[in-house]
Chains A and B, each alone.
Chain A
C-alpha cells in the first residue's frame, strides 16, 4: 500500500474503532462504576462501540477537526513537501470515503460557510533528532475542545496551582464534553507551546508518573461521572508533557478529550531520495 492509502485507511479506522487500551478502560469503568446513571451511560457507550465496529460507521457524528502533527527526523531523508501533500490528499479522501461529517467552516466570525470537504487541515511540523517521521492525528471533537483551556500560572504556583487549575477546568466542563474524559496536559514553553504539548501528550503513555496519577485521582474525586450524571469515573486517563519555560512563568494547557479518544499514529522511514520506503503502524 502506498503512503496515502495507509494514512487514509488509518483515519477511517480511527473514526470507527478505538485503540484497544481505551476500549479496555471504558469496559473496566463499566464493570466497576457504582453510580446508577453513569453505569447506564457507560453501558450505552459499550453498545455504541460494538455497533460502530459492526456497521462500519463513525463512533460519533462529530468526526472532528483533524489535528495533525509531524515529528520529522533530521536524519529521515523524507521530503517534507511530498509528505505534506500526501497527508493532505489522504485526509481529504478519508473524509469523503469514510463518511466523515463536514464540520469545517470558513469566515469563522461572520458567515461561517461550510467548506463541504472538512478541509483545510493544518499540519504542525517539528524537527527532531531521529531517522524516522512520526505522524500524529487526533480526530478532535469540539464538544470537548470547547472546554479545553490555557492558563499562565505564576512561576511559584507549583504542583498545587497546576492541579487546582485542572480541577477548576474539569468542574466547569461538567457534563458538556461527554465524560468520562481523557486529559492531555501541556506544561512549559510559551502559551502556544503548552497548548501544542497538551495535544501531543495523547501520543505518550499516560497515568505513569506520580503527578499524572495524582491528577487522575483528584479529578475522579469530583464525582462528575459518565454523562455528568454522578459517578466515580469522570476521567479515564491523564497524560502530561512538560518542557523548559521562562523564569517568570508557568504556562499550563489542558486539552479535554471525550471518552472517544480517536487517534492514529504512523511512523515512516525514508529512502535515499526522499521517498518513503516503509511505514510502521
Chain B
C-alpha cells in the first residue's frame, strides 16, 4: 500500500510502481466525457484551464444524487477509454494524474512517457464504496451538465491500483 497526498509532488508520483495499491488523500477533481470535451475545446481556444492542472489529479466519475443528509451519492469510476481522445492533449498541458477504470490507449501511455504521470484504476462498479471515501464536494464548472459537471472533492483513503506508472510502464496481468 502506497499513500499519495493530493495535490502531489513530482517525487511522490515517481515512488509509485505498476501494480501498487495506492490510497489517495486530499483534493481530487472530477470530470468525465462532456467536461473533457469542454476543457479541450476551451483550452484550444486560448482560455485558461478551469482549475490548476499541475499538481492535481482527475477522477473520471459522475455521481448519483446524494441521499438526504449525505454529501454525495454513489461515486465509482466510469470507463477511462472514452477520455483517451482528450487525455494526450490535457497531459501535455499538465493534467498528468488520472483515475478511472479499464485500459487506456497507447497514445495515453506515450504521453505519460513523455511528460511523466500516473494512471490509476479504481474499483469498477463500486460506487457505494467510494461514496464513503469522499469528505467534501464542490461544483467548480459546467453545472448545466448535471451529473457530468466538474467537481472538486476531498477524499480520504480512496483506493486504486497503478496501471501506468511515471515511466510509462503498463500493468500486464
Residues of A within 8 A of B74 (CB): 52, 57-61, 63, 101
The segment from B42-50, B91-99, B109-117, B120-128 that touches chain A is B120-128
The interface on chain A, measured as residues whose beta carbon lies within 8 A of the other chain's beta carbons, has a size of 47
The answer, yes or no, to whether A44 is at the interface (CB within 8 Å) is yes
Instruction: Select one of A41, A59, A102, A231 contacting B128, CB under 8 A.
Output: A59
B contact residues around A47 at 8 Å (CB): 126, 129
Task: Evaluate contact between B61 and A61: CB separation under 8 angstroms.
Answer: yes
A176 to B83 CA separation, bound complex (whole angstroms): 12
Query: Does B21 sit within 8 A of A, measured CB to CB?
Result: yes
1/0 contact string of A153-180 vs chain B (CB within 8 Å): 0000000000000000000001111100
Q: Please name all residues of chain A whose beta carbon is closer than 8 Å to the beta carbon of B159 when the two chains form the complex.
A: 44
Docked-complex contact A174 and B102, CB < 8 angstroms? yes
The one of B65, B70, B101 that contacts A175, using a Cβ cutoff of 8 Å: B101
Docked pose: A41 CA to B19 CA in angstroms: 12
Q: Which residues of A contact B103 (CB under 8 A)?
A: 174-176, 228
| CB within 8 Å of B: which A30-63 residues | 35, 37, 40-41, 44-45, 47-49, 51-52, 55-63
Contacting residues, chain A, for B154 (C-beta < 8 A): none
B55-90: CB near A (< 8 Å → 1, else 0) gives 000000111111100100111101101000000000
Q: Is the CB of A44 within 8 A of B73?
A: no
Quick check: A51 and B64 within 8 Å, CB to CB? no
B147 at the binding interface (Cβ < 8 Å):
yes
Residue in A closest to B146 when the chains form the complex, CB atoms: A114
Chain B residues whose CB sits within 8 angstroms of the CB of A225 once the complex forms: 173
B51 within 8 A of A: no
CB distance from A154 to the nearest CB of B (A): 30
* Chain B residues proximal to chain A, CB less than 8 Å: 19, 21, 34, 61-67, 70, 73-76, 78-79, 81, 101-103, 121, 123-129, 131-132, 145-148, 159, 161, 171, 173
Interface of A toward B, CB cutoff 8 Å: 35, 37, 40-41, 44-45, 47-49, 51-52, 55-63, 99-103, 112, 114, 116, 141, 143, 146, 174-178, 223-225, 227-231, 258-260
